[in-house]
Amino acid sequence: MFLLLPLVGGVLAGWLAPRRTAIALQVAFAVIAATVVTLSAPKHGADYGIVVWVVPITVVVSVIGLCLGLLVRRRRLPA
């Protein structure tokens, strides 16, 4: 569930926040999501080696979410 944080948070941040603030928020969302998923891995039958998969997936999801948010903002603003 925490991997949805970069996606949903990125869309909202890219849409509503200034660009620099949105990027900073997105980095924070990605770090929080990757940390929570990695630390909770042993409770779900995995080990801490899952970070090899979690971090790249989180980065990709973060970039997609931020780009979608910035795209929505660009379409919303008048030319």
4-20 pLDDT, tens digit per residue, is 888 899 999 999 999 99
What does residue 34 show for φ and ψ, rounded to 5 degrees?
A: -65, -40
Residue type, 68: L
Given a cut of 50, the residues of the chain with pLDDT beneath it are: none
| Its pTM surpasses 0.85 | no
Report the domain count for the chain: 1
**What range does the domain containing 23 cover?**
4-76
Residue 75 CA from chain centroid, whole number: 21
Going by C-alpha positions, the residue among 27, 1, 22, 2 that lies closest to residue 12 is 22
